Amino acid sequence: MFATLSLAVGLSVDSLAAALATGVALRRPRLADAARVGTAFGLCQMAIALAGIRLGVALVRVASAWDHWIAFILLSAVGGQMAVKALSGGAAEPVCPAWPALLAMGVGTSIDAGVVGVGLGMTEVDAPLTVAVIGLVTFGFSAVGVLFGCRVGRRAGTAAQVAGGLVLAALGGRILAAHLLA
Protein backbone atom coordinates (compact mmCIF):
# COMPACT_ATOMS: atom_id res chain seq x y z
CA MET A 1 0.00 0.00 0.00
CA PHE A 2 2.93 2.35 0.69
CA ALA A 3 4.14 1.92 -2.91
CA THR A 4 0.66 2.70 -4.25
CA LEU A 5 0.37 5.80 -2.08
CA SER A 6 3.85 6.97 -3.09
CA LEU A 7 2.97 6.49 -6.74
CA ALA A 8 -0.25 8.45 -6.29
CA VAL A 9 1.59 11.33 -4.60
CA GLY A 10 4.17 11.43 -7.39
CA LEU A 11 1.49 11.51 -10.08
CA SER A 12 -0.45 14.23 -8.23
CA VAL A 13 2.34 16.81 -8.13
CA ASP A 14 1.57 18.25 -11.58
CA SER A 15 -2.10 18.49 -10.65
CA LEU A 16 -1.17 20.26 -7.42
CA ALA A 17 0.84 22.84 -9.37
CA ALA A 18 -2.07 23.43 -11.76
CA ALA A 19 -4.51 23.70 -8.84
CA LEU A 20 -2.27 26.22 -7.08
CA ALA A 21 -2.20 28.30 -10.26
CA THR A 22 -6.00 28.07 -10.48
CA GLY A 23 -6.34 29.11 -6.86
CA VAL A 24 -4.07 32.10 -7.44
CA ALA A 25 -6.48 33.34 -10.12
CA LEU A 26 -9.47 33.18 -7.76
CA ARG A 27 -10.07 35.89 -5.18
CA ARG A 28 -12.45 33.92 -2.98
CA PRO A 29 -12.69 30.28 -3.99
CA ARG A 30 -15.52 28.41 -2.41
CA LEU A 31 -15.16 24.88 -1.16
CA ALA A 32 -17.30 23.95 -4.16
CA ASP A 33 -14.63 25.43 -6.47
CA ALA A 34 -11.91 23.42 -4.74
CA ALA A 35 -14.06 20.30 -4.96
CA ARG A 36 -14.75 20.93 -8.65
CA VAL A 37 -11.06 21.31 -9.49
CA GLY A 38 -10.20 18.29 -7.36
CA THR A 39 -12.92 16.22 -8.99
CA ALA A 40 -11.86 17.14 -12.53
CA PHE A 41 -8.18 16.47 -11.86
CA GLY A 42 -8.84 13.30 -9.85
CA LEU A 43 -11.17 11.87 -12.50
CA CYS A 44 -8.66 12.61 -15.26
CA GLN A 45 -5.85 10.93 -13.32
CA MET A 46 -8.04 7.89 -12.68
CA ALA A 47 -9.33 7.60 -16.23
CA ILE A 48 -5.96 8.03 -17.89
CA ALA A 49 -4.22 5.64 -15.47
CA LEU A 50 -6.93 3.07 -16.10
CA ALA A 51 -6.66 3.61 -19.85
CA GLY A 52 -2.92 3.06 -19.61
CA ILE A 53 -3.44 -0.17 -17.72
CA ARG A 54 -5.97 -1.36 -20.29
CA LEU A 55 -4.28 -0.24 -23.50
CA GLY A 56 -0.90 -1.86 -23.01
CA VAL A 57 2.56 -1.35 -24.31
CA ALA A 58 1.80 -1.36 -28.06
CA LEU A 59 -0.38 1.74 -27.91
CA VAL A 60 2.07 3.62 -25.71
CA ARG A 61 4.73 3.30 -28.43
CA VAL A 62 2.36 5.07 -30.84
CA ALA A 63 0.96 7.57 -28.33
CA SER A 64 4.36 8.45 -26.86
CA ALA A 65 5.20 10.17 -30.14
CA TRP A 66 2.61 12.89 -29.45
CA ASP A 67 1.41 12.73 -25.81
CA HIS A 68 3.90 15.36 -24.68
CA TRP A 69 2.68 17.71 -27.44
CA ILE A 70 -0.91 17.32 -26.22
CA ALA A 71 0.08 18.16 -22.65
CA PHE A 72 2.18 21.11 -23.82
CA ILE A 73 -0.59 22.58 -25.99
CA LEU A 74 -3.34 22.15 -23.38
CA LEU A 75 -1.37 23.55 -20.45
CA SER A 76 0.18 26.39 -22.48
CA ALA A 77 -3.19 27.45 -23.87
CA VAL A 78 -4.92 27.48 -20.49
CA GLY A 79 -1.93 29.09 -18.75
CA GLY A 80 -1.53 31.71 -21.46
CA GLN A 81 -5.22 32.56 -21.29
CA MET A 82 -4.95 32.97 -17.49
CA ALA A 83 -1.95 35.31 -17.81
CA VAL A 84 -3.52 37.41 -20.58
CA LYS A 85 -6.80 37.70 -18.66
CA ALA A 86 -4.93 38.84 -15.53
CA LEU A 87 -2.93 41.45 -17.47
CA SER A 88 -6.01 42.78 -19.26
CA GLY A 89 -7.96 43.18 -16.05
CA GLY A 90 -10.11 40.11 -16.70
CA ALA A 91 -13.52 39.76 -15.12
CA ALA A 92 -14.52 41.85 -12.11
CA GLU A 93 -14.75 38.71 -10.01
CA PRO A 94 -12.75 35.69 -11.22
CA VAL A 95 -14.68 32.45 -11.24
CA CYS A 96 -13.57 28.87 -11.18
CA PRO A 97 -12.72 27.68 -14.71
CA ALA A 98 -15.49 25.95 -16.62
CA TRP A 99 -15.49 22.15 -16.91
CA PRO A 100 -13.87 22.10 -20.39
CA ALA A 101 -10.90 24.14 -19.15
CA LEU A 102 -10.61 22.05 -15.98
CA LEU A 103 -10.69 18.84 -17.98
CA ALA A 104 -8.08 20.22 -20.41
CA MET A 105 -5.78 20.97 -17.47
CA GLY A 106 -6.63 17.60 -15.94
CA VAL A 107 -5.72 15.73 -19.11
CA GLY A 108 -2.56 17.80 -19.54
CA THR A 109 -1.36 16.95 -16.05
CA SER A 110 -2.39 13.28 -16.30
CA ILE A 111 -0.48 12.09 -19.37
CA ASP A 112 2.20 10.54 -17.16
CA ALA A 113 -0.49 8.53 -15.37
CA GLY A 114 -1.24 6.76 -18.65
CA VAL A 115 2.38 5.79 -19.13
CA VAL A 116 2.63 4.60 -15.53
CA GLY A 117 -0.63 2.72 -16.04
CA VAL A 118 0.88 0.74 -18.89
CA GLY A 119 3.70 -0.34 -16.60
CA LEU A 120 1.21 -1.26 -13.91
CA GLY A 121 -0.77 -3.27 -16.44
CA MET A 122 2.24 -5.54 -16.92
CA THR A 123 2.37 -6.35 -13.21
CA GLU A 124 -0.04 -8.05 -10.87
CA VAL A 125 -1.27 -4.81 -9.37
CA ASP A 126 -4.76 -4.40 -7.95
CA ALA A 127 -5.90 -2.01 -10.70
CA PRO A 128 -9.16 -0.81 -9.08
CA LEU A 129 -7.45 -0.04 -5.77
CA THR A 130 -4.47 1.64 -7.41
CA VAL A 131 -6.63 3.80 -9.69
CA ALA A 132 -8.88 4.77 -6.76
CA VAL A 133 -5.91 5.80 -4.61
CA ILE A 134 -4.45 7.84 -7.49
CA GLY A 135 -7.78 9.62 -7.97
CA LEU A 136 -8.35 10.31 -4.27
CA VAL A 137 -4.84 11.63 -3.65
CA THR A 138 -5.07 13.85 -6.73
CA PHE A 139 -8.48 15.12 -5.59
CA GLY A 140 -7.08 16.00 -2.15
CA PHE A 141 -3.91 17.66 -3.43
CA SER A 142 -5.85 19.64 -6.04
CA ALA A 143 -8.59 20.84 -3.70
CA VAL A 144 -6.07 21.98 -1.10
CA GLY A 145 -3.97 23.56 -3.86
CA VAL A 146 -6.88 25.75 -4.98
CA LEU A 147 -7.49 26.99 -1.44
CA PHE A 148 -3.80 27.60 -0.73
CA GLY A 149 -3.25 29.22 -4.14
CA CYS A 150 -5.99 31.71 -3.36
CA ARG A 151 -4.12 32.87 -0.28
CA VAL A 152 -1.03 33.47 -2.39
CA GLY A 153 -3.14 35.29 -4.98
CA ARG A 154 -4.66 37.64 -2.42
CA ARG A 155 -1.25 38.72 -1.23
CA ALA A 156 0.42 39.08 -4.61
CA GLY A 157 -2.53 40.25 -6.75
CA THR A 158 -2.22 40.42 -10.55
CA ALA A 159 1.44 39.40 -10.49
CA ALA A 160 0.45 36.11 -8.83
CA GLN A 161 -2.29 35.54 -11.40
CA VAL A 162 0.16 36.10 -14.25
CA ALA A 163 2.69 33.85 -12.50
CA GLY A 164 0.02 31.18 -12.06
CA GLY A 165 -0.71 31.20 -15.78
CA LEU A 166 2.99 31.10 -16.58
CA VAL A 167 3.45 28.16 -14.19
CA LEU A 168 0.86 26.19 -16.17
CA ALA A 169 2.57 27.06 -19.44
CA ALA A 170 5.97 26.19 -17.95
CA LEU A 171 4.59 22.88 -16.71
CA GLY A 172 3.56 22.11 -20.29
CA GLY A 173 7.02 23.16 -21.47
CA ARG A 174 8.67 20.91 -18.88
CA ILE A 175 6.63 17.93 -20.04
CA LEU A 176 7.53 18.65 -23.67
CA ALA A 177 11.24 19.14 -22.89
CA ALA A 178 11.40 15.97 -20.79
CA HIS A 179 10.09 13.91 -23.71
CA LEU A 180 12.13 15.64 -26.42
CA LEU A 181 15.38 15.45 -24.46
CA ALA A 182 14.88 11.86 -23.30
For the chain, what percent of residues have pLDDT higher than 70?
A: 90
Model confidence at 66, pLDDT cuts 50, 70, 90, reads confident
Q: What mean pLDDT is predicted for residues 130-145?
A: 97
Q: What is the pLDDT of residue 46?
A: 97
Please return the burial class of 89, using the count of CB atoms within 10 Å of its CB with bins 0-12, 13-18 and 19+.
Answer: exposed
* pTM for the full predicted model: 0.78
For the chain, what percent of residues have pLDDT higher than 90?
A: 35
Per-residue pLDDT for 124 more than 70?
Answer: yes
Top-confidence range, 40-54, 86-100, 153-167: 40-54
Q: What is the pLDDT of residue 105?
A: 93
**Which residues contact residue 63 at a Cβ distance below 8 angstroms, ignoring those fewer than 6 apart?**
114
Model confidence at 111, pLDDT cuts 50, 70, 90, reads confident
Helix/strand/coil (H, E, C) string of 8-47? HHHHHHHHHHHHHHHHHHCCCCCHHHHHHHHHHHHHHHHH
Cα four-point dihedral sign 164, 17, 76, 22: negative
Q: What mean pLDDT is predicted for residues 95-117?
A: 88
Per-residue pLDDT for 82 more than 90?
Answer: no
Distance between terminal CA atoms of the chain? 30
Number of H helices and E strands in the chain, helices first, is: 8, 0
Model confidence at 59, pLDDT cuts 50, 70, 90, reads low
